[in-house]
Chain A
Amino acid sequence: DQQVKQNSPSLSVQEGRISILNCDYTNSMFDYFLWYKKYPAEGPTFLISISSIKDKNEDGRFTVFLNKSAKHLSLHIVPSQPGDSAVYFCAASVTGTASKLTFGTGTRLQVTL
């Protein structure tokens, strides 16, 4: 049941460059999307979210783009920093009270010097 997919298990980017992490979903009922960052042996840390009524949301170095027709979202990190090296999870939900999150498999980002 892969309703949320992150097809790139890993990504390596040079410090200062743009990191682009991609996520696809199949369930058209999803209308709220989130990106979480996770370090080993820690819990997911919320980064940024977007509602389906928007196509872009920006917070500092992080921007999330949503293409509803393609059922695709992406996270852009500009500029990338070594501290951004972590696993990034895309998650989706159907808006409502106590809505569960459906996670992708994650993309490991390595930012090199």
Chain B
Amino acid sequence: AQKVTQAQTEISVVEKEDVTLDCVYETRDTTYYLFWYKQPPSGELVFLIRRNSFDEQNEISGRYSWNFQKSTSSFNFTITASQVVDSAVYFCALSEAGAAGNKLTFGGGTRVLVKP
């Protein structure tokens, strides 16, 4: 069965600090997809990134970067030079290629609070 664990429930930082969110997953499939979503205080889910299991390249998008390590089943997310607008709940999610219904399995989420 697929499982996603986000051990950090809440992280508080001061603006301009870097923050890294941990995500560890479990799956028996060899083909799967990993996602990060942002949920700002307004409540909607904002897609940030998708990674497939065959692509272990790290990715950088502006102040965001992602470190995918298959050997440790982790897909960590770093916000560099955090800003107040980064305050949100962040979810890591996993979808197995064989999962019925295209199901996404989410971690419990990490609340990030960026203080000015």
Q: Do A and B bind each other?
A: no
Which A residues are within 8 Å of any B CB, using their own CB?
none
